[in-house]
Amino acid sequence: MYCQNCGAEINDNARFCPFCGTRTDKGAEDAAAGEGARQESGQPNYARQEHVYAPPPATTERKSKLAAGLLGIFLGTLGIHNFYLGYTGKALAQLLITVCTCGLGGIVTSVWGLIEGILILTGGIATDANGVPLQDV
């Protein structure tokens, strides 16, 4: 099954698209069935209800794997790739290590950024901070 909003391939039993958060036909059917049970008796039918979790944030923009990887390789010392992916805690750590040591810690953070850049490009790091998969170019 494919999402009607973003076109991503999703599980046939999915109630919401994991990429954009749009309710699927299955989710709409379940919501209508739940309302019908509530209207018949006047009370919610807790025995028939399943746990329905809130959809992920509706972000339609997927981050580029290539851009994140290249930022990690070339500007990893400053944590730019982690800022781009939304991992601000890690990004601040890399930036502060480099700046507060007057560049001497840049050796450590450059290796750190290089490794993360390679992991991003090879698929070892496949999602951004919101759990949205990175987009192949």
Provide the pLDDT for residue 61.
Answer: 84
Provide the pLDDT for residue 78.
Answer: 96
Provide the pLDDT for residue 72.
Answer: 97
Residues in CB range of 60: below 8 A, 6 or more apart: 5, 6, 20
**pLDDT below 50 — which residues of the chain?**
37-38, 47-49, 51
Provide the pLDDT for residue 13.
Answer: 82
Q: Where are the domains positioned within the chain?
A: 1-60, 65-122
Q: Is residue 69 left, alpha or beta, with left meaning phi > 0 and alpha meaning psi from -120 to 50? A: alpha
Provide the pLDDT for residue 84.
Answer: 97
Helix and strand counts by DSSP (H, E) for the chain: 5, 0
**Global pTM value:** 0.58
3-class DSSP state for residue 54?
coil
Provide the pLDDT for residue 14.
Answer: 80
- Decide if 129 contacts 79 (C-beta within 8 A): no
